[in-house]
Structure 1
Amino acid sequence: MSTDKPPLNPHPLSEYVAWAGNRNREPILGVLKEKLPKESGRVLEMASGSGMHINYFAPHFDHLHFHPSDRDVEVFDNIKNLTSEHGNDNIADPVHLDLTDPETWFNPGEKNSFDAIFCINIFQVAPISIADGMMECASHLLSDNGVLLIYGPFKMEGGFTTDSNEEFHKTLASYEVPEWGLKDVADLKKAAAAHGMELKEIIDMPANNFSLIFGLK
């Protein structure tokens, strides 16, 4: 794959998303090695997209079982094909989870059934309103000491943390898609508080990104 940055395209199967995924996967893996259970457990990925991240991470955690999910069922074949190609037998088949549709969020039997949830690079191209669904899901699905890891570029308390993040926000805004643009961590904290969650840690990541670690209060 070329190392040149492709044109911006948030479709989960685009060259741009693949390029971004290859660039950020090692730093995120480092955080997961610190935060995921050291013994057996279940891990949910929200907005799995092509499945490139979950299929890269899973082989590093033989003791864990990974569960991909996405709102777009069209990506499910790609996720399953990657899982088969990599021989990842600790990844379940993807399930439909739409953070704008409460009917897809969970069923009663899954309460407290996940030890960790992660979501990568979704908020810059999704409405901030999905934070409410994400936090409600997490509050239901996570075990008492479980973590929700959200990775991406964000604003902090109304401001940009770097000039490059401000420039990225302007680039996203230039496409005139209403939901595109960097979201504020303060809004995620507000959504979390409404569902018994709180921001536990902010980890600085390469390329001016962050890993936000949420957990139950």
Structure 2
Amino acid sequence: MSQERPPLDPHPLSPYVSWAGHRNRDPILEVFKQKFPSTPGKVLEFASGSGMHINYFAPYFPHLTFHPTDLNEHALENIMRVTWENRVQNVARPSQLDLTRDETWPNPDERRFDVIFVINIFQVAPISVADGMMKCASQLLNEDGFLFVYGPFKDHGRYTTASNHEFDQMIHSAGVSEWGLKDIADLEKAASAYALGLSEKIDMPANNFGLIFSRS
């Protein structure tokens, strides 16, 4: 795949999302190898998009069952196609999930998860989505489970690198009000409302963060 960044396009099946996904998947995988449970369990992904990440990670953890979700129906169809083409055995059928509508969430009395993860949504999603994300995670995580959030963020009001400042300016230049780097402090505030706290902040390549939230 070309290393040149395509034009910014948050649609889950866009060339930009594919480029970003191939760029970050191996560093994220290395974190997952350290953090994922070693015993059988369940993993949920919010906003799975094309399914590239979940189908890449799943074969490394055959003892875990991965559950993809997305709001976009075309994305769900693509996830099923990618899973079938790659013959991935431990990725479940994708389901539609809207973080702003709790009636679309799994029933916590029927299914809970050891890990929930979400990758690269907050530079284009409104920060209000964080409230639904934290509420949903608090309901669906096992007692010792965790939520992993990956992406570029400001850190308590400051840019951690000049390149993140430039990236934020580039996103804002698109003229979409909710686009732009969000602040880790705002995710912490949303988490605290649901008895979750930031337990680990991991510096990742390309000036991104891996944020781990667990029960306070």
For Structure 1 versus Structure 2, the TM-score category normalised by the shorter chain is over 0.9
2:136 equivalent in structure 1: 137
Offset of 1:108 from its aligned partner?
A: 4.1
1:101 equivalent in structure 2: 101
Q: Render the CA deviation track for 1:60-90: whole Å, top value 9, x for unaligned.
A: 0000000000111121111001101111110
Distance 2:113 2:33 in 1: 16
Question: Contact between 1:110 and 1:141, CA under 8 Å: does it hold in 2?
Answer: no
1:172 equivalent in structure 2: 171
Distance 1:65 1:108 in 2: 16
Q: Which amino acid aligns with 2:65?
A: H
Q: Which amino acid aligns with 1:168?
A: F
Distance 1:68 1:8, change over 3 A: same
2:40 equivalent in structure 1: 40
Question: Contact between 1:69 and 1:96, CA under 8 Å: does it hold in 2?
Answer: yes
1:18 equivalent in structure 2: 18
1:55 equivalent in structure 2: 55
Bigger Cα displacement from structure 2, 69-78 vs 147-156: 69-78
Question: Contact between 2:54 and 2:66, CA under 8 Å: does it hold in 1?
Answer: yes
Please state whether the residue corresponding to 1:124 is helix, strand or coil: coil
Q: Render the CA deviation track for 1:104-162: whole Å, top value 9, x for unaligned.
A: 12324246x10000000000000000111000111110011101000000001111111
Taking structure 2 as the reference length, what is the TM-score of the superposition?
0.98
Distance 2:153 2:81 in 1: 32
Percent identity over the alignment is 61
Structure 2 residue 75 is the aligned partner of structure 1 residue 75: yes
Q: Which amino acid aligns with 2:60?
A: H
Question: Contact between 1:35 and 1:147, CA under 8 Å: does it hold in 2?
Answer: no
Distance 1:108 1:151, change over 3 A: closer
Q: Render the CA deviation track for 1:180-210: whole Å, top value 9, x for unaligned.
A: 0000000000000000100000000000000
Offset of 1:2 from its aligned partner?
A: 2.1
1:207 equivalent in structure 2: 206
1:81-120, aligned counterparts within 5 Å? 81-110=81-110, 113-120=112-119
Q: Render the CA deviation track for 1:169-188: whole Å, top value 9, x for unaligned.
A: 00000011011000000000
Aligned residues: 216
**Cα RMSD, aligned residues only:** 0.9
Structure 2 residue 202 is the aligned partner of structure 1 residue 198: no
Distance 1:78 1:167 in 2: 32
Distance 2:177 2:158 in 1: 19
**Unmatched 5+ stretches in structure 2:** none
Taking structure 1 as the reference length, what is the TM-score of the superposition?
0.97
1:161 equivalent in structure 2: 160
1:128 equivalent in structure 2: 127
Please state whether the residue corresponding to 2:6 is helix, strand or coil: coil
Please state whether the residue corresponding to 1:181 is helix, strand or coil: coil
